[in-house]
Amino acid sequence: MKEKAWSVLVKLTQEGQLSALKQQLASSDAALAVNGKHFGSSGDTLLHYAARHGHLQVMEFLINEIGMDIEVYNSDYKRPLHEAASMSQIACVVYLLNNGAKVDCLKKADWTPLMMACTRRSPEVIQELLSHGADPFLKNKDGWNCFHIACREGDPLVVQHLLQFAPCVWKTESKILRTPLHTAAMHGCEEVVNILLQRCGYISESADSCGVTPFMDAVRNGHIAVGKMLLEIHGEGHTGTIATLLSLGADLHVKDKKGRSALHMASIGQHADAARTLLQLGLGDSEDASGTTARQLAKKPDILGVFEQEQD
């Protein structure tokens, strides 16, 4: 078959033009040729294209009439189920699972279809995979499970769904000891961080193999609101953390959308040592967008004393 003819088949499959595709594959020779055909450097087959674009009838035709293997894989070892799950194609996911696709098949770097589904905000696909026995505790080559990935994407519904299905799924660390809380904090996923702090048992100041805590991840990436949550609930923000942040290149004067500085955050959490260190490092008190200074947020005697000493 000529290259132009192959291109036509790919286009028809991607567009879901079933009748035209059937005409092109009417001869037994054409059907036989396409059955083992992989396209381009990705090594995708027509079945991969159909699953990715959500063309269920095309997919059924390729499997039932052309005889394509439901577990055919491309150059990255991605199966059609990986493609359908990663693109939230629920109808294709249901069909593949009901027709024997392996729910925990692995692509390159040991990613499962469930992990791929968690890169999207698609609770229905995740539920379908879980109901067919997908293991939420499996880890990829970096030590991430599906919960790490969901926390990175930041959809609270997906995170809550996984916790409901597997209440202990949060008890995981990557190969460099990073928790899902690190991941959510680093990406500024406020709603997810709040869920993790309320429902999961992360210990205060849990550090990865480089000594980085979730608070440090949040602040050095400019996610002040997340840092505030960690200060209030975990009590992070001590002088050692601040010194480490600065050594990593964090901006001492960074402010959030409400005009609040790190000094405001220290005052909100009533952390006297943190406030003292910030003032000593040259971070002056200032008004936020509402005209409130960090000193006005100080309530406890020890942190009030810090501001009084500064005035002296």
- Cβ contacts of residue 28 below 8 Å, gap of 6+? none
- Find the mean pLDDT for residues 130-147: 98
- Does a structural domain hold residue 227? no
User: In the prediction, which pLDDT does 256 show?
Assistant: 78
Q: Is residue 294 part of a domain?
A: yes
Is 273 inside any structural domain? yes
- The owner of tokens 């953390």 is 241
Cα separation, 187 vs 223, whole angstroms: 8
pLDDT tens per residue, range 112-138: 999 999 999 899 999 999 999 999 999
Q: Which amino acid is at 235?
A: G
Q: How many CA atoms lie within 13 A of 53 on its CB side?
A: 19
CB-CB contact of 288 with 264 (8 Å)? yes
Higher-pLDDT residue of 257, 170: 170
- Is pTM beyond 0.85? Reply is no
**pLDDT of 272 strictly over 90:** no
| 265 falls within a domain | yes
Residue at 102 is within a domain: no
Q: Is 39 helix (H, G, I), strand (E, B) or coil?
A: strand
Binning pLDDT at 50, 70 and 90, where does residue 110 land?
Answer: very high
What's residue 129's pLDDT? Answer: 98
Which of 39-48, 178-187, 279-288 shows the lowest mean pLDDT across its residues? Answer: 279-288
Answer yes or no: is 242 within a domain: yes
In a domain, 94, yes or no: no
* C-alpha span between 124 and 246 (Å, rounded): 43
Per-residue model confidence (pLDDT) at position 243: 62
Q: How many domains does the chain have?
A: 1
Residue 206 has pLDDT above 90, yes or no: no
pLDDT tops 70 at residue 92: yes
- 8 A C-beta contact, residue 162 and residue 169: yes
Handedness of CA 189, 194, 200, 203 (dihedral sign): positive
Determine, yes or no, domain membership for 304. yes
Q: What is the CATH number of the domain that holds 290?
A: 1.25.40.20
Q: How far is CA 297 from the centre of its chain?
A: 34
Task: Check pLDDT > 60 for residue 111.
Answer: yes
At residue 239, the pLDDT reads 62
| pLDDT tens-digit map of 208-258 | 998 788 887 887 787 878 877 887 776 554 566 666 655 556 677 878 778
Average predicted confidence (pLDDT) for the chain: 90
Domain containing 309 equals 237-312
pLDDT for 44 beyond 80: yes
